[in-house]
Structure 1
Amino acid sequence: MSIPHQNRPCIVVGVDTHKNTHVAVALNQLGAVLDPTTITVNRAGYARLRDWATGLSGDNDGAPVVFGIEGTGSYGAGLASFLRRAGDQVVEVNRGDRSVRHLRGKDDTIDAETAARSVLSGSATATPKTGEGTVEMIRQVKIAKDTATKARTQAIVTLKAVLVNAPAELREALEPLGDRELLEARRALRYESMDGPEDAARYTLRALADRHRSLDYEARRHERVLDTLTDRAAPTLTGQFGIAADCAAELLIVVGDNPERIRSEAALAKLCGTCPIPASSGKTTRHRLNRGGHRQANAALHRILVVRMRFHQPTIAYVERRGREGRTTKEILRCLKRHLIREIYQILVAPHKESKLALAA
C-alpha cells in the first residue's frame, strides 16, 4: 500500500543494522539521497543518529522523519526501542529488493538506501514489536528451555551410541532396558581405575547419564516458569482445547507485546504461514499450504491440530465431513489452520484493537 502524496514523510532514514555499527541513509520526499552516516551500536550512537536526522529535518522546514530499520528483532532491536521511546515513527523493513542487489551490487550504504526506498514507496509498512513486556520475557525463557531440551535429547542419543560400541558384557546388561531404567542403571555405574576400555565406557556412560539428569531438571524448571508467564500473558489462550504452554508461548512470540500492530486476521494468517496460496490450473481450482511465514508458529498450530484431530469432537466431525467431500488430509489441515488462526486472533489481537479504538473515541 503506497503512502498518499500529501501524507508522505519528507525525510525517510533507512538503517542497515550490524552488531557493532549501523549505517543510515536519508532520502527526501522525491527519493533523492540527502546524506549517509555511520553510528556505533550504543545509546550514544542512537542519540547521534536521532540528532543527525533532526538536523536534516530542520534544514527541510521541520519535515517529519520516518525510520526504516532492518532487523528490528535482532541487531536493530536497541535502535528501534530507543527511537520508539523518543516518539519517532519506526517501520520494520524485512529484506531489500533482490533486483537492486543484482543491478547495483551490495554494501551497507546501498542496503540502507534500499530500506529507505522500501518505506518511501509504501512496500514496507510493518510496525516492529516493542519487546518490553511479558511476551519478551516468554521469548527469552523459551530460548533457554528449547536449548536445554535439545541438549537433553542429544545427551541420550549420544549415550545410546556409546553403548553400541561398549564391551559386550556391559552392552548385553544395559541394552534391553528402557530409557528410564537405562539412565538409572548408568548413573549407578562404578569404575575403579582407567585400566581398560570397559572402565572408560563406564565413566563415559555415567557422565552422559548425569548430564541428561541435569538437563532434564533444567528443562522442567524452565517449563514451570513458562507456564506461569503464559498464564499471565494470555490465560484465555492456554484454556483452549489442545493449546499447552509451549504452543501458546510460540503464538504469543509471533504476536508480540503490541498485538494492535497486526492489522487484520488475514495478516496474522500470513504471518503464521497459514493463508491459502492459489494452486489452480485450467479447470482445477484449489489452494495449497503456505510454506512461508513464521515456521515455529506454524509448527505450534500443527501440534495443536494433531491433538484436536484425535480428541476434539468438533474437529473430528469437520475432518470427516471434508473427507467425504473429497478433500485430502493436507487440504483439510490447511483449512483447520486457518480456522484456528481466526480463533487465536479473537483471543490475542481483537481485544487490544477494540480497546485502542475505544480510547481513540
Structure 2
Amino acid sequence: MTDQIAVVGGVDTHTDFHQAAVIDSIGRHLATAPFPTTPDGYCRLLEWMRMHGDVLAVGVEGTGAFGSELARFLRASEVAVVDVDRPDRKARRANGKSDPVDAYAAATAVLSGRAQGRPKTRDGIVEAIRSLRVVRRSAVKSRTQTINQIRTLIVSAPAEVRERLRSLPTYQLIAQLARSRPGADLADPTCAVRTALRRLARRYQHLTQEIADADAELDPLVAQAAPGLMDLIGVGAETAAQLGASP
C-alpha cells in the first residue's frame, strides 16, 4: 500500500477459527475475515492485518482460553495485545450473535480505551502450575463424590453391612472395604453392595494417590513461583498456588 496508516485489530475467538477485524485510527471499519486456529492461520491473520497498515495493537477475546495461543503468537511477533472481555451474553441474545460484529467491537474497545486488560500469559512456570492444578482439582472433586457414594450405599445397605460400617472414620472405612472379599454371587443384594463398596474404596485410594502425586509435582514449582507464601506457617502448595502462583 502506498500510504501506511495506523490500524487496530480485533479478534473474536473460537475453537476452530478466529474472526479478525481491522479498523483505522478513527474507528472506521476496514475489513474482516476468518482464520483457522493453526500456526499457519495465526501467521496469515497477522500478515492480513499488516496489509491494512501499521498494527498498533490487537484486542483479543479470551486470552486465557480460546485466544491463548494467538495471544502468545502475537506477543512473540512484538505486537501489543489487549485482553478484551466477551460481550454480555444477555446483549448477545437480544441483538443476535455476529462474529464480524464482535471482532470489530474488540478492535473498537481497544481504540477507545475501554479495553485495557493485560492478556493472560499462559506460559512459563505459572502455566505449568495451572495445568497440574487442573488434574489435582478434578481428582479432589472425584474423591469427594466417591466417599459420598460410599456413605449413601452404606445407608441403604442391608443391616449386616450397614451396622458394621456406618460408624467407621473414613480412613478405616476405606482400608476395610478395599481389602474386603464380597463374594461372587452378584444376584445377592448383600454381595452386590459389598462389591460396589470395595470398588469405590479402591477408586478412593487411587484418587488419593493421584492427589499425592500432583502435590509432589506442584510443591517445587510453587516454591519457585511463590517462595514467600510457601515460607508462611500453615500455607501449603495448593493454598500458595491459589493465592500467588496461579493466573
TM-score, L = length of structure 1: 0.64
> Hey, what does 1:182 align to over in structure 2?
173
Which structure is richer in relative contact order (CA contacts within 8 A, separation 6 or more)? 2
Matches within 5 A, 1:83-232: 83-96=74-87, 101=92, 104-190=95-181, 191-232=183-224
- Going from structure 1 to structure 2, the CA distance change for 1:176 and 1:40 (only over 3 Å counts) comes to same
**Unmatched tracts of structure 2, length 5 or more:** none
| Structure 1 contact 20–41 (Cα < 8 Å) conserved | yes
| Corresponding residue for residue 236 of structure 2 | 244
Q: Is the 8 A contact 1:72 1:128 kept in 2?
A: yes
Q: Decide whether aligned partners of structure 1 residues 100 and 202 sit closer, same or farther in structure 2, where only a CA change above 3 A counts.
A: closer
Report whether the alignment pairs 1:54 with 2:50.
Answer: yes
Write the letter of the residue equivalent to 1:20.
D
> Cα offset for 1:236?
1.7
Contact 1:96 1:118 in 2 (8 A): no
Report Cα offsets for 1:251-283 as digits up to 9, x if no partner. 3355x4xxxxxxxxxxxxxxxxxxxxxxxxxxx
The residue type paired with residue 204 of structure 2 is: H
Deviation at residue 104 of structure 1 after TM alignment: 4.8
Task: Give the superposition deviation at 1:86.
Answer: 0.9
Q: Per the alignment, do residues 214 and 102 of structure 1 end up closer, same or farther by CA in structure 2, a change over 3 Å counting?
A: closer
Q: How many angstroms does 1:192 deviate by? A: 3.0
| Correspondence for 1:34 | 30
Q: What SS does structure 2 have at the residue aligned with 1:27? A: strand
1:222 is displaced (CA, Å) by 0.6
Check the 8 A contact 2:9/2:58 in 1, yes or no.
yes
- Quick one: percent identity of the two aligned structures? 38
> Contact between 1:39 and 1:48, CA under 8 Å: does it hold in 2?
yes
Per-residue CA deviation, residues 232-263 of structure 1 (Å, 9 max, x unaligned), is 11212211344321121123355x4xxxxxxx
Q: Which amino acid aligns with 1:27?
A: I
Which secondary structure does the structure 2 equivalent of 1:64 belong to? strand
Shift in Å, 1:54: 1.1
* CA–CA distance in structure 2, aligned partners of residues 146 and 98 of structure 1: 28
The one of 41, 53, 58 equivalent to 1:45 is 41
CA distance in 2, matches of 1:189, 1:241: 40
Going from structure 1 to structure 2, the CA distance change for 1:217 and 1:192 (only over 3 Å counts) comes to: same
Q: 1:109 to 1:244 in 2, by over 3 A?
A: same
CA RMSD of aligned residues (A): 1.9
Q: Separation in 1 of the partners of 2:122 and 2:222?
A: 15
Rounded Cα–Cα distance in structure 2 between residues aligned with 1:209 and 1:249? 29
Which stretches of structure 1, 4 residues or longer, exceed 4 Å deviation after superposition?
97-104
- In 2 relative to 1, CA 84–163 (structure 1 residues): closer, same or farther, beyond 3 Å? same
Assess if the C-alpha contact under 8 Å between 2:229 and 2:244 holds in 1.
no
The alpha-carbon distance between structure 1 residues 100 and 198, as it changes in their structure 2 partners (threshold 3 A), is closer
Structure 1 residues 328-353: Cα deviation after superposition (integer angstroms, max 9, x where no partner):
xxxxxxxxxxxxxxxxxxxxxxxxxx
- Post-superposition offset of 1:183: 1.0
Counterpart CA distance in 2 for 1:98 and 1:71 is 14
Tell me which amino acid in the other structure corresponds to 1:186: L
Aligned partners of 1:98 and 1:139: how far apart in 2?
A: 27
Q: Please say if residues 226 and 245 of structure 2, whose CA atoms lie closer than 8 Å, have aligned partners that are also in contact.
A: no
